[in-house]
Chains A and B, each alone.
Chain A
Amino acid sequence: MSYNTLVFIAFLGITLLLYYIVPKKFRWIVLLTASCGYYILNSSALIAFVFITTLSIYLCGLWLGKINERFKKAKGSLSKEEKKIYKAKTTRNKKLVVLVAVLVNFGLLFFLKYFNFMSDSVGAAIGLFSPSFQPFHLSLALPLGISFYTLQAISYVVDVYRGKVKPDKNFGRMSLYLIFFPQIMEGPIGRYDQLAHQLYEGHSFDFERFKSGWQLILWGMFKKMVIADRAGIFADTVFNNYQKYTGVTVVLGVIIYTLQIYTDFSGSIDIVTGVAELFGVKLSENFKRPFFSLSLQEFWRRWHITLGAWLRDYIFYPISFSKFFMNFSKKTREKFNDYWARILPMAFSMFFVWFGNGIWHGSSIKYVVYGLYYYVFIMIGVMCEPLIRKTLGLLHINREAKGYKLFQMLRTTALVCLGMMIFRAADLNAAFNMFTSMFTNAGLSVITGGSILKDFGIYTSDFAILALGMIVLLVAGIIQEKGYPIRETLAKKNIVLRWSVYYAGIFMVLFFGTYGVGYKLADLIYAQF
């Protein structure tokens, strides 16, 4: 049940009605019941896996709480030296609990998502010596949102371990934190301290918030149904038959796919955030106009923000603050000059972040390459920084100049588009062939001869609507980049202007949304992860 279907809107309407009818203290029960119902409708008996995850982190949280309490009680009566020893023992025990939670939850995720991939990889290695060897495959169904709720689950346990949050004694609240229906399919990946209490509190009906939520849903629908699904028709045509096309068409296909995945994912997140707002819940921001970024590092701080933040807090920092890393970092400072003392530790810890980013997206070698693609380019950027600074100085190029910033934006976008090509291509071989065709078989005549639209096999009207959608998106992005909050600014305008904009949005989705005869409703791209 995708967010952009009538069934979902009906489901949402009933849940909203029940939520605001029942007394405030029972409202969380409506959300939990609706969330379980939504999960069962989408993933039936696989809800058992969410239950296992919930139970495991609930118990681990309580266990950590008990260890902390024991330490607090005991430390008053201990000498300084005894306290140090007891603290070390307590930390060891707490680490053991976290390890149990990680093994149970990542174990489930790895088994369900990566078993066949691992089996294929091992099979390929054995196949080198025994060509008749057939890898063993299991028919495994993936529970809805497992990649998202598993990260939320781990973050809760680690935050309790770090003392950032207190263990939750309410199993219902813990369940709702993991299974809240608007965000279960595509995130954003929430944090317990920001989300759980909001879901549990009963919120009063607030008309302004309600209106603002629907505006965001409409904007998300526009991005998803008018732009993303239409761009998908172009992108699918090129990616599924890239051998038929010349380099120019492939380049256009890659750019349009990048537009598709951005509007699909960010549009879905807008819908999800808007739906949560209807219940008075504020979710974490997941996109911040990433294509205005000046570097790849900045891009990843503005694209799928909650995944980047999760990788930073639960992979990058633990590695960077480990004893091994601290010693490694110290040794590099002693043995190398400032430049290498900075680069080497960074190269070490960032590798795990980007490897994790890649493998999180899917059980295939192309996703690993996708993650490491960013790793390589970010490291090249960091390593070349002194050289770039020197060159710009010699050429008297001002880094703050608008022209240079525009160049940086375009360069970042081009690199992101190439990354998206790896992400979307059927496999690495296809991605490589597409890339080489850009240079070996450019075929500029499809532009000069005007046959590019015929090449795609699509209507000119679709292309025109897509172009219009992109202009709207760009204008909205520029306005937001300049610091004007669109929804708030619009709310202050007079009724005629306000409702003209709302109606324009509604009619755009109704008339230009890709549904009905000639179109098929496209799935949410990130729901497959």
Chain B
Amino acid sequence: MEELLEILEELKPGVDFKNNQHLIDDGVLESLEIISLASEINDEFDVELSVADIMPENFNSVDAIWALIQKLQAEE
């Protein structure tokens, strides 16, 4: 989880990622940032995010992103 927070804070400094539950709905993370984030996640956690995973509910909060990573790791 800490590594994920580091990636997010590096991607968009100054955002309260720990508490924001609407990262997509509020436009905090936009399409270009999601692509960068996905690429970082793939490298860091050795998973393969696919386009089917790109749904607002998977990226609206740090917990949701973390849950997605864990799901993908379990499927590997």
Contacts and interface: CB of A to CB of B under 8 A. Distances in A.
A289 interface: no
A321 B31 contact: no
Contacts of A326: 39, 42
Interface centre among B36, B42, B43, B51 (most CB of A within 10 A): B51
Contact of A342 (B30, B31, B36, B51): B36
B49 interface: yes
A330 B40 CA distance: 10
Given A312-B31, A346-B32, A163 B52 contact: yes
Interface in A312-352: 312-313, 316-318, 320-321, 326, 329-330, 333, 342, 345-346, 349
Interface centre among B38, B39, B50 (most CB of A within 10 A): B39
A410 B49 CA distance: 39
Interface in B18-76: 27, 30-32, 35-36, 38-39, 42-43, 49-52, 54-55
A498 interface: no
Given A312-B31, A316-B31, A329 B39 contact: yes
Interface size class of chain A, counting residues whose CB lies under 8 Å from the partner chain: 20 to 34
Given A321-B38, A326-B42, A342-B36, A164 B52 contact: yes
Interface size class of chain B, counting residues whose CB lies under 8 Å from the partner chain: 10 to 19
B40 to A, nearest CB: 10
A276 B57 CA distance: 27
Contact of A162 (B39, B49, B52): B52
Contacts of B39: 326, 329-330, 333
A316 B34 CA distance: 11
A58 to B, nearest CB: 22
Contacts of A321: 35, 38, 49-51, 54
23 contacts: A161-B52, A162-B51, A164-B55, A297-B30, A316-B31, A317-B31, A317-B51, A318-B51, A320-B35, A321-B35, A321-B38, A321-B49, A321-B50, A321-B51, A326-B39, A326-B42, A329-B39, A330-B39, A330-B43, A333-B39, A342-B36, A345-B35, A346-B35
